[in-house]
Amino acid sequence: MTDKTPPLSVKIARLVQDIYPDQDANVLASLIVDAFWPAQAPRRKRGRAPGNNLWSQKDALIITYGNSIIDGAYKPLDLLHDFLLRYLNGAVNSVHILPFFPFTSDDGFAVSDFRSVHPQLGDWPDINRIAKDFSLMSDLVLNHVSSQSNWFNAYRQGQPPYDRFFFEADPADDLSMVVRPRTTPLLQEVETTKGPRHVWCTFSHDQVDLDFRNPEVLLEFLRIIRLHVDNGVQIIRLDAVAFVWKVVGSPSVHLPQTHAIIKLMRLLCDHTPEKIILLTETNVPKGENLSYFGNRDEAHAIYNFPLPPLILHAMMSGSAQYLRKWQRAMPPAPLGCAYLNFTASHDGIGMRPAEGLLPEGEKEKVIETVRELGGLVSMRALPDGGQSPYELNTTFYDAMSRTFKGTDDHHFDRFICSQTIVMSLEGIPAFYIHSLLATPNDHAGVEHRGMNRAINRHRWNYPTLQSLLADPASPQAAVMTALTDRLQLRARQTAFHPNATQFTVNLEDARIFALWRQSLDRRQSIFALHNVSDETVTIQGAALNMIEDETWIDLLSGEALHPEIETISLAPYQCRWITNHPS
C-alpha cells in the first residue's frame, strides 16, 4: 500500500503559502528547514503521530523565576537546582524557568538577548544541569523585544535585516479595534536614521512588537528554538502568541496567520527526534483559548486559563456552581493534546477568562474580597476608551485567607483543597513556586518596584526559607509537605493520566465539586470529591456508582468504603480520592 502522506517539504510549503502568499513557498520552506535543522541535523522521516505518550500521571510542573531563591553568594540557578532536588524530587518532574535571558523590564519579558543566559542567574551549563534532572520549559517571547536590545538598536540605525524587524503604524490609522491587555498608548514614536517612526507596543514602550510579515523574523525564532532544544529544553512556551500578527483596522489578535505560524512550529517539532512540546500562552476567554489546539495540529498543550478565577470564586463563595457548569461543558483535550491546569502563575489571576462564565455581580464580589485581603487589581484598556479589570494581583495562598463571609480558621485547608482540584482534573498540574511555599503578599516589593505584579514575585532568601521548611509549624513546611505528599500519591494513579477519561459528577449539592476519572485501560476509577465550603457536607453514596464486588478506598484518608455505603461525609474543605485500584 502506497504511503500518500506528503513529504515534510510539501507540508511546510503549504503553510508558508498561507502565511506569506507573496513569497516563493519552496525557497522559504528550504530556508525554514535549514534554520530549524542546521548542518543537516537529524530529523524524523515521519512526524510524531498524535497519541497519549508525551506525558503521564507522573508529570507535574513548577513555575519559577531563575532568581526566586537567592542567598547573595551562589548563582541563583544553582540554588534553584538544589531546591528542586532537595524538596521536590519525586513530586515534580518538570520546571518552567521564566525568561532567563538578559532583559530590561517586565521581570524578563522585555528580552534584550535571546541567545544568552542572564549573567546574574548563571550560564548555559547551569541550565543544562537542571535540564538533565527535570523536563525544562523555556519562554519563547516571540511577540516583542526590549527597546534597548541589539535588534531594536540596529533597526533605528537602519541596519538590515533588522530595519524590517519591527511593526510600524501611522497614528492616523484606525487602531480602535485593537485588543490589548494594557492601558499604555499603543504606538511609540522613535527616532531612526530614516526619520521618526511609530512602532507598535502591545504591552509597554520597552516591549516593541516584531513584524512577522517579514519572514526573516520567523526564521530567527526558529533558530532560537533550535538553540533551546540543543540546551535540553523540552517544552517551548509561546508567550503572548495571540498578538504576533497585526493588521491595521482589525483586532490584531488570533489572526489566521498566527494560527498558521503555530501549525508550522508544531509540524517542525513533531519531526524532531527530541521530544518537544509546544505550549501556547493565551490569557483570553474560553473559546479563543481552545482554538489553539487547532485540528490537533497547533499547540500540544494550552493553559487552562478559566481555572484560576473559577477556583478562586468557588473557594471564596463556598459553591462550585460556576466551576462545575464550566467544567461540564469543557471538551476533552484532542488526541495528542493536553490542558495545563493551574491556579497561580508569575502574573495575576486573569479575569478575562471568566468572561461569560461568572456573572458580573460574582466577579465584583471576588474583586472586592481580593482588595479586602490586601490584593491589587490591574486594568486593561477597552476599544471605547474605558478600562476593565484585567487581572487580580495576589499570591494564591493569601487569596485563600478570606471568603465572601470574611476570615476564619480554614485558611490552610481551603488552600490545600484549591490545589487538590488542580491535581484531580484532566490535564497536567502546574504550581507556581509561591503556591508551594505559601508565600504571603509582598507589599514591600510592590512599593519598591512600583509594579502590582511584584506582590506575587517575592524572592526568598534561601537560608531563611530552609529554616522555615525545617519547622513543621510554619505555613511553608505545612503546605510543602501536604502538596508534595499528594503529588507523589497522584503520580502512582493511572486514572490521573492527563488524557484519562473525565466526567463531571452532577451532585445536587453545589458545595461539592466532583469528578470521575478512569484510566486509559479502564482498570482504575477515581471519584475525586472536593468540599469547597466551610461546612460539613454529606452526599448519597449511590451518587458515585461505585462498582460492586470491588474494594474502594479513599487514597487521601485511607478509609475503606463499601460500594453500598449510604452516605459519604466531607469535613470543611476536605478532599477525597476514592478508588477501586490504589497504587
Q: Which residues are catalytic?
A: 239
- How far apart are the C-alpha atoms of 189 and 200, rounded to whole Å? 9
Q: Which position has the grid cell 512599593?
A: 447
Pair 276, 337: CB distance under 8 Å: no
What secondary structure does DSSP assign to 179-198, as a single string? Answer: --S--S-SEEEEEETTEEEE
In the chain, count H helices and then E strands.
Answer: 17, 25
- In Å, how far from its chain's centre is CA 165? 27
Known binding-site residue numbers? 106, 144, 237-239, 346-347, 453
Can you tell me the distance from the alpha carbon of 51 to that of 334, in angstroms, rounded to the nearest whole number? 9
Q: Which of 547, 571, 551 is nearest to 559 (CA)?
A: 551
List beta partners, residue 432.
63
Single-letter amino acid, residue 511: R
- Decide the pairing of beta strands 94-97 and 135-140: parallel
Residues linked to residue 139 through DSSP beta bridges, in sequence order: 237
Write the single-letter amino acid at 191.
Answer: E
Class of residue 567 by CB neighbours under 10 A (exposed 0-12, middle 13-18, buried 19+): exposed
The grid coordinates listed for 498 are 492527563
Place of cell 458515585: 544
Report the greatest alpha carbon distance in the chain. 81
d(Cα 526, Cα 542) in Å, to the nearest integer? Answer: 15
DSSP helix/strand/coil, 486:
helix
For helices 475-490 and 411-424, the axis angle rounded to 10 degrees is 20
Residue pair 348/391 in contact (Cβ under 8 Å)? The answer is yes
Q: What angle do CA 86, 89, 91 make, to 5 degrees?
A: 130
Annotated binding site for substrate: 106, 144, 237-239, 346-347, 453
Structural contact between residues 573 and 358, judged by C-beta atoms closer than 8 angstroms:
no
> How many beta carbons lie within 10 A of that of residue 10, not counting itself?
12
19, 271, 450 from 47: Cα distances, Å: 21, 5, 47
> Do residues 565 and 541 make contact, with C-beta atoms less than 8 angstroms apart?
yes
Count Cβ atoms below 10 Å from residue 184 Cβ, excluding itself: 13
